[in-house]
Amino acid sequence: MFERCGNAYKFMALKRLCLFILVAFSACFLECGYTVVGNVQGYEAFLKDYKRYSSADSGLKVEKIEGFEPVVDEYFSFGKAFCDGIAFVRKENENYVLRRDGTLTQIAENLSEVEIEGGKYAFESNGKFGVKNVFGIELLAPIYSEINIADDTILAISDEYAETFYARYDSKEAVLIKKCNSKDATLLNGEYLFSNGYICDLNFLPLTACGLFYANLPCEGKVVVKLQDAKFGYVDLSANKILQGCYVVAHSFSEGTATAVMPNGENVVIDESGTKLFGTDNMRIGNKSYGFYCYESGGKYGILNDKFERLTDAIFTDIKYEKSVSGYFIISQNGKDKIYSPTKGDVYDCEEIIYEGRMFFCNENGLVTVLDNNLKKLFSCDGVEYGNGVLIVEKGGKYAYYERIQ
């Protein structure tokens, strides 16, 4: 399974398995004084002690992995990836919030099945939604029909209006930013929202540059803006000037260039001044990433270098993320993901490959192999997540957290 939280990525086998062989521990019932009949409370106490001293999270020191150091030197029976500096974990059948410095804070609620964003989550009561932080403090009462959360921003939508709020994961209350008498709003990220056909700030005010409405989010100091007749252009935000050019399709800047489509159908690449660097009528070009461009022709994908020379023909089903990594690409072909080099060809293939944090996560038959940028094997495990610079590694139902040693 592959999940994302902000910049978190996950391969998890989801093998949540608890085995209790009570016959082998029958003597323990007698010695510890726990009984089942007529003493349910005592039996629950036995189970708690049994898990404390026999489960995966019994204080064992975590396995050493070359090139990594543990965030905290103990295993957990369940763990989520770090997001906004915290992670939810379980040990000894109890719930905790783990911070980057390794400190643990016990909490009441089991958040293993809850989607957490910015240290907060939406909860439902009587068909309405509110917001709590990970410590269980109610930030917004359950009076809304929809909740969106991104970073420290909350967008709460009722049947008649929308409101934006500010709240950190450790806040005691949510602070109102703005109320809008329209419920047409979607949170794009922690700084921008889309409302009534416009990209807006958190005060629901449509954003403009040089008097033109934003058509996309700013990137590298440039923003795509709406021109007349359903056309698009670019504005340099630092210079507050419109770049030359008029397009029917315009993509955000990436690594100093942007790809767009002219009214005559020509696909072009422009630089930061708006000057055309390259144009073609027979293929669609993706944004520059790690010094390369991907292109699409006839429903297949290929690779160009930064001089727009073809490194490969359009032979791939997909090129993941339109990016290369240290000269390697992640491509899809014949039902497999592959790490591919234009000079060496296929160098590694498996069912699914994800790249994040200068590592390749390669999933094959439920086993995840982690490779570095040079394709050196770092370790294998049952599952791995990455978020906020922290790896969570699952092996044999145990979860441990590691930071990469720089």
Residue for token digits 């038959």? 365
Kindly provide the residue ranges of all beta strands, DSSP E only, lying in 136-243, ordered along the sequence: 138-144, 146-150, 153-157, 162-166, 175-180, 185-187, 193-195, 198-200, 208-209, 212-213, 222-226, 232-236, 241-242
Any idea what DSSP says for residue 48? H
C-alpha to C-alpha distance for 304 and 342, rounded to whole angstroms: 10
C-alpha to C-alpha distance for 399 and 6, rounded to whole angstroms: 21
The domain spans of the chain are: 117-206, 210-281, 289-350
Per-residue model confidence as pLDDT tens digits over 131-168 = 999 999 999 999 999 999 999 999 999 999 999 999 99
C-alpha to C-alpha distance for 393 and 361, rounded to whole angstroms: 11
Q: What are phi and psi of 74, to 5 degrees?
A: -160, 155
Cβ(263)–Cβ(246) under 8 Å? yes
Cβ(165)–Cβ(177) under 8 Å? yes
Q: How many residues are present in the chain?
A: 406
| Class level of CATH domain 210-281 | mainly beta
Runs of H (alpha helix) within 278-352? none
Any idea what DSSP says for residue 42? H
Burial of 270 (0-12, 13-18, 19+ CB in 10 A): buried
Band (pLDDT 50/70/90 cuts) for residue 324 is: low
Higher-confidence residue of 326 and 384: namely 384
Task: Classify each residue of 374-404 as buried b or exposed e, where b means 16 or more C-beta atoms within 10 Å of its C-beta.
Answer: eeeebbebbbbbbbbebbbbbbebbbbbbeb
Contacts of 21 (CB under 8 A, 6+ apart): none
On the question of pLDDT at 35 being above 50, the answer is no
Q: What is the mean pLDDT of the chain?
A: 85
Q: Helix, strand or coil for residue 386?
A: strand
Supply the DSSP string of 260-277, one letter for each residue: EE-TTS-EEEE-TTS-EE
Lowest mean pLDDT among 55-69, 208-222, 365-379: 55-69
Residue 216, pLDDT score: 96
Residue 67, pLDDT score: 87
Higher-confidence residue of 262 and 60: namely 262
Q: Tell me, what amino acid is at 207?
A: L
Lowest mean pLDDT among 238-242, 326-330, 367-371: 326-330
Higher-confidence residue of 148 and 45: namely 148
Residue 321, pLDDT score: 56
Residue for token digits 């429903």? 299
- pLDDT average, residue stretch 37-50: 38
On the question of pLDDT at 196 being above 90, the answer is yes
Band (pLDDT 50/70/90 cuts) for residue 41 is: very low
C-alpha to C-alpha distance for 239 and 391, rounded to whole angstroms: 41
Give, for 87, the enclosing helix (H) or strand (E): strand 86-91
Higher-confidence residue of 288 and 321: namely 288
Residue for token digits 């690449």? 269
Q: Helix, strand or coil for residue 331?
A: strand
